[in-house]
Amino acid sequence: MINSVLIKVRGFHVDIFQHVNNARYLEFLEEGRWAFFDDFGSGTELMQQGIAWAVVNINIDFKSEANFGDVLAVQTHFSKLGNRSITMKQRIINTQNQNVVAEADVTYVCFSKELKAAVPLPDDYRQKIEAAIV
């Protein structure tokens, strides 16, 4: 499953060089992941059990700039499944010229609020993720 969300670059996204500041890409990527989980099913039942996803690693490769007025597509999908973790692959594409603006790998752990520790993914959720890996 690949999810895509569109983001229009606004004036508050750009820096003094008139291109999107690198810190803003973290926000764009997060917006993409939230949209993905909305469509996938964010695991409300997990939250009710005191389990949450905690980001433990983000790697971003910046490929080309984005500017005021550009419309960016943030594409998100699961790429890897561990015992206690999932990794998502994200790509930001400028819809006007199809240039890849940035690529990112984001790793989450399944985290127990009660234990304050990473825990194995519940089997039913693991199976749902396995079926969605691209």
User: In the predicted model, what is the mean pLDDT of residues 42-55?
Assistant: 82
For the chain, give the mean pLDDT.
93
User: In the predicted model, what is the mean pLDDT of residues 109-121?
Assistant: 93
Residue 18 and residue 68 in contact, taking contact as beta carbons nearer than 8 Å: yes
Highest mean pLDDT among 4-8, 37-41, 111-115: 4-8
> Which of the residues 15, 38, 61, 124 is marked catalytic?
15
Q: Where are the domains of the chain?
A: 3-132
The contacts of residue 57 (CB under 8 Å, 6+ apart) are: 105, 106, 107
Res 47: pLDDT: 81
Element housing 30 (H / E): helix 22-40
Give per-residue pLDDT as tens, 58-98.
999 999 999 999 999 999 999 999 999 999 999 999 999 99
Res 42: pLDDT: 64
Share of the chain above pLDDT 70, in %: 99
Element housing 123 (H / E): helix 123-132
Domain 3-132 in CATH: superfamily?
Answer: Hotdog Thioesterase (3.10.129.10)
Distance, CA of 6 to CA of 69 (rounded, Å): 12
| Catalytic (active site) residue 15 | yes
